[in-house]
Amino acid sequence: MKVNVFNLQGKSIGKVELPAVFKEPLRRDLILRAVLASQSSRRQPYGTNELAGMRSSAHYHGRRRRRWTMMGREMARMPRLHGKITPQLVYRARIVPQAVKGREAHPPKPEKVWEQKINKKERQKAIRSAIAATAVPTLVAERGHKFEGELPIVVTDDIESIKKTAELKSVLSKLGLDEELERIKEKKIRAGKGKSRGRRYKRKTGPLIVVTEDKGIGKAVRSLPGVDMSRVENLSAEALAPGAMPGRLTVWTKGAIERLSQLTPS
């Protein structure tokens, strides 16, 4: 199948043959596995202090048939406070999980391994499936992208040399992405506790630009919220299907399409 190649003015200047990877069947299960594996590798281990809840003078001493023993006193055998304490705190239990101000029963441990493994061939197949999904209009529409026209969008390699954000925005507008650029402008305040944890705002995910070489476009993309850029060799399932939802609106350069046929032979 051939698709149009557009120049920076949004006019068709030729056609290019799509590689066989765009005929790959959709595998949502593999895409989900690949995305979760990618996200898990960035997760930071965390855990409680080893002495949390243990910093107490409470203790238990129990011997049968001995003076001052704590056995046979009609009380649970728990570490308790001793010494000069107020009547309200006489023999108050500490340390054990079920006591007030006691330690946590099963606290999070920093040695836990969060990283999820995925087979190499499964990850590669997930990427191929996510690439094919970028050319399916129904999947792109399900993600909420605003675009009417031929998919995938292929432009000349001249877009790689754009260094100004305003110029890149103008090119995307000429390619028919006006509504998409307006959609990703929206910024909403997150509901819930996340507002006070460094993620106060939520933004829409916009188009992905796939190039063969970064000749300055990376700097131009940096100031466009929601728009990302990736080299064709560095494509991942997470970049092509954010949130494990396939069908991201993707702009390909002609060189990236040709390089794709070499990276994923039929």
The answer to whether residue 86 scores a pLDDT higher than 80 is no
Measured between alpha carbons, how far is 208 from 210 in angstroms, rounded to an integer?
Answer: 6
- Grade residue 19 by pLDDT with cuts at 50, 70 and 90: very high
pLDDT tens, residue by residue, 31-47 = 999 999 999 999 999 99
**What is the predicted pLDDT for the residue at 4?**
93
The answer to the question of residue 146 being in a domain is yes
The answer to the question of residue 75 being in a domain is no
Segment among 84-93, 172-181, 209-218, 255-264 with least mean pLDDT: 84-93
pLDDT tens, residue by residue, 103-152 = 999 999 999 999 999 999 999 999 999 999 999 999 999 999 999 889 99
The answer to whether residue 74 scores a pLDDT higher than 90 is no
Instruction: Provide long-range contacts, Cβ within 8 A and 24+ apart, for 165-171.
Output: 165/220, 165/221, 165/222, 165/223, 165/224, 167/220, 168/217, 168/220, 168/221, 168/224, 169/224, 171/8, 171/10
pLDDT more than 90, % of the chain: 82
**CB-based contact 191:234 (threshold 8 Å):** no
The answer to the question of residue 257 being in a domain is yes
The answer to the question of residue 258 being in a domain is yes
The answer to the question of residue 197 being in a domain is yes
The answer to the question of residue 167 being in a domain is yes
CATH number for the domain harbouring residue 244? 3.40.1370.10
Neighbours of 173 (CB within 10 A): 14
Q: How many domains in the chain?
A: 1
Domain boundaries, position 259: 2-44+119-263
- What is the residue-averaged pLDDT of the chain? 92
